[in-house]
């Protein structure tokens, strides 16, 4: 197996991006020529949107994008619109050189792939946009209740990046389960011609869900943060909705996590809380503060009693 590394095309401006996309378009096999005969990949272009500070979870999305499409675009942009006042916008980890080195690793991006790393002035040339995407009811619950406007900010930049990068498929991790559900709903409700692909959440060996924000955790925080994945594991052994929620909360508290934003058991497509009569697969979602770091995690659970 080759261990050769290659470097993707790095672009910062809209003009550079348009030129690099045009190169990808010229190289693409036209659908009319029988795409299936030329390639096993079902899509022409895939986009993976990130805020940088990449980790193995992001790289698994890029590897999947590589499998699904002939050409890949990775966007790296810390979107101010999705951070509330007092959140970590200014200290959010930024490391473009490190990100590029990771993306150039074996089996990931090659010279025909694109990394789009724009400045704020490129994405929002007129300053804060007047017109934004409203996530609606799916954006009011859970993350939306604790981070008002967060999902509107996410959807606004996701739609802009979809317009700018023109993908056939866009990949999002299931770690941000509510974000994924909101993006799916936006694409459906607004007829955006993009297939949304949800990819599995990636965990460290000790169970901690990978997140760029894990970089903020002290050694002691990190030990306590394992309470989130433990809560999901123990709660999944229960059968009734109430027992699932209470086991998760008790486990978080036993791990020394006192500031819990929510423990929610929701219907996966709508993100509405399930009641005692619900049976079937639900999503158990947790958000909690460990030290100065806010973490989220989730897992599917079967409600059977």
Residue closer to ligand PAF by CB (options 194, 235) is 194
Segment near ligand PAF (CB under 6 A), from 27-35, 115-123, 150-158, 268-276? 150-158
Residue closer to ligand PAF by CB (options 178, 247) is 178
Which token pair is 302?
């079967």
Nearest approach in angstroms of CB 24 to ligand PAF is: 20
Nearest approach in angstroms of CB 183 to ligand PAF is: 8
Would you count residue 158 as binding ligand PAF (CB under 6 A)?
A: yes
Residue closer to ligand PAF by CB (options 17, 158) is 158
Nearest approach in angstroms of CB 50 to ligand PAF is: 5
Question: What distance in Å separates the CA atoms of residue 92 and residue 117, rounded to the nearest whole number?
Answer: 15
Query: 284 and 236 in contact (C-beta within 8 Å)?
Result: yes
Nearest approach in angstroms of CB 184 to ligand PAF is: 13
58 is catalytic: yes
Residue closer to ligand PAF by CB (options 82, 104) is 82
Would you count residue 154 as binding ligand PAF (CB under 6 A)?
A: yes
Nearest approach in angstroms of CB 210 to ligand PAF is: 12
Residue closer to ligand PAF by CB (options 53, 252) is 53
Question: What distance in Å separates the CA atoms of residue 173 and residue 182, rounded to the nearest whole number?
Answer: 13
Which of 58, 146, 150, 239 is catalytic? The answer is 58
- Going by C-alpha positions, the residue among 162, 283, 290 that lies closest to residue 225 is 290
Contact flags string 42-61 toward ligand PAF, x per CB under 6 A: -------xxx----------
Contact flags string 55-94 toward ligand PAF, x per CB under 6 A: ------------------------x--x------------
Residue closer to ligand PAF by CB (options 57, 238) is 57
Please list the active-site residues: 58
Residues within the interface to ligand PAF (CB under 6 A): 49-51, 79, 82, 154, 157-158, 176, 179
């Amino acid at each position: 197996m080759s261990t050769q590394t290659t470097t993707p095309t790095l672009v910062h401006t809209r003009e550079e991006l348009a030129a690099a996309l045009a190169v990808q378009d010229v190289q693409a096999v036209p659908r009319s020529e029988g795409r299936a005969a030329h390639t096993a990949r079902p899509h022409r272009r895939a986009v993976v949107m990130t805020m940088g500070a990449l980790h193995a979870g992001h790289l698994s999305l890029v590897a999947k994008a590589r499998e699904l499409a002939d050409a890949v675009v990775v966007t790296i942009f810390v979107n101010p619109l999705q951070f509330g006042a007092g959140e970590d916008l200014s200290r959010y980890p930024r490391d473009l050189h490190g990100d590029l080195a990771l993306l150039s690793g074996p089996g990931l991006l090659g010279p025909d792939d694109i990394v789009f790393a724009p400045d704020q002035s490129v994405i929002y040339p007129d300053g804060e946009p007047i017109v934004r995407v409203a996530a609606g009811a799916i954006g009011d619950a859970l993350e939306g209740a604790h981070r008002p406007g967060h999902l509107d900010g996410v959807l606004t930049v996701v739609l802009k990046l979809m317009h700018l990068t023109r993908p056939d498929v866009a990949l999002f991790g299931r770690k941000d389960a509510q974000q994924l559900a909101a993006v799916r709903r936006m694409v459906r409700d607004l007829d955006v011609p993009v297939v949304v692909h949800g990819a599995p959440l990636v965990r460290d060996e000790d169970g901690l869900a990978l997140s760029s924000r894990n970089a903020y955790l002290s050694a002691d925080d990190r030990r306590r943060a394992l309470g989130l994945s433990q809560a999901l594991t123990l709660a999944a052994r229960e059968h009734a909705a109430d027992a699932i929620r209470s086991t998760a909360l008790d486990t978080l508290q036993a791990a020394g996590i006192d500031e819990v934003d929510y423990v929610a058991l929701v219907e996966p497509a709508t993100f509405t809380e399930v009641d005692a009569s619900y049976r079937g697969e639900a999503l158990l979602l947790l958000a909690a503060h460990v030290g100065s770091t806010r973490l989220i995690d989730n897992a599917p659970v079967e409600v059977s009693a």
